[in-house]
Amino acid sequence: MFDIHTHILPQLDDGSGSWKETMDMIRDGIKDGIKGAVCTSHVFKVLNKELEEQYILRFNELKKRVRQENIKFRLWLGSEININAKFDLKFSIATYNDNKKYMLLELPMSDYPHHVDELLFQLSLQGITPILAHPERNTVIMQKPEIVENFIERDVLIQVNSGSITGIFGRRVRKITLDFINKGFVHFVASDCHNYGNRPMLLSKAYKVVQNICGKQRAELLFSINPSRVILGESIDSYMKGGITSNKGWQQYLHSIVKRVKKGG
């Protein structure tokens, strides 16, 4: 599994508060079966050179500490950009792994800004595929879940939180999330971890829920394959495609893409 939404860089946002907490979160993730993570600290208001340099400095320090402790865990850099923030795609942290293809966008929890559709259109003109973070927790979408289907029709990708699947955010959020998964509206499950306590880097419990409901192949798609594709800058599918009909062929494909992302992502 690869976690494409985390707040493990310390003291940059409302995520990890110290290097100790960061390393504890990573160790928890490794125990849970996570092989790597993208650091996606918040961009609340403005993405500028100063903020980018701060994030890169902290990211490089994290990689150094992971190497020094001989921890086998891959790390990549991106950001979680609030849909109301000002940003420029020239900055490397605007997109995943600086691939100029995928970016993580966040809606306000209790609002649906009027300029969302125009922003998504402008991004598409620039060849950017937005990944919408945890729409299941947005109160407007909770009232009108059909909004997510409209996003899908516009080639927006959907990431839900593992905690939404396991019920951390309540029964209503869990019901909406599982409905999205059953309808094929979800492309990724990520932890959106913020701390070592009540928002840890854990995916396996949610993986088992998805596996029990939709089968192992769908679970691997949402937790391993599609996250790998984002890091590599490759195309995303809601379902398995490409003529993989046998279990052996599917296992070989899974092994291949995971190996590529661990080696060169």
Q: What are the tens digits of pLDDT across the range 86-99?
A: 999 999 999 999 99
Domain boundaries, the chain: 2-264
Superfamily of domain 2-264: Metal-dependent hydrolases (3.20.20.140)
How large a percentage of the chain has pLDDT more than 70?
92
DSSP string, 46-67: B--HHHHHHHHHHHHHHHHHHH
**117-140 confidence digits (pLDDT tens):** 999 999 999 999 999 999 999 999
pLDDT at position 240 over 80: no
Write the pLDDT tens digit of every residue in 127-182. Answer: 999 999 999 999 999 999 999 999 999 999 999 999 999 999 999 999 999 999 99
Find, among 75, 5, 79, 2, the residue nearest to 257 by Cα: 2
> In the chain, which ranges are continuous DSSP H helix?
19-31, 49-68, 116-125, 139-143, 146-153, 162-166, 171-182, 204-214, 216-220, 226-232, 247-264
At residue 241, does pLDDT exceed 70?
no
pLDDT for 242 equals: 41
Answer yes or no: is pLDDT of 237 > 70.
Answer: no
pLDDT(40) > 80: yes
pLDDT at 243: 40
Q: What is the mean pLDDT of the chain?
A: 93
pLDDT the model gives residue 258? 73
Write down the pLDDT at residue 196: 95
Q: Which of 151, 143, 199, 150 is nearest to 172 (CA)?
A: 143
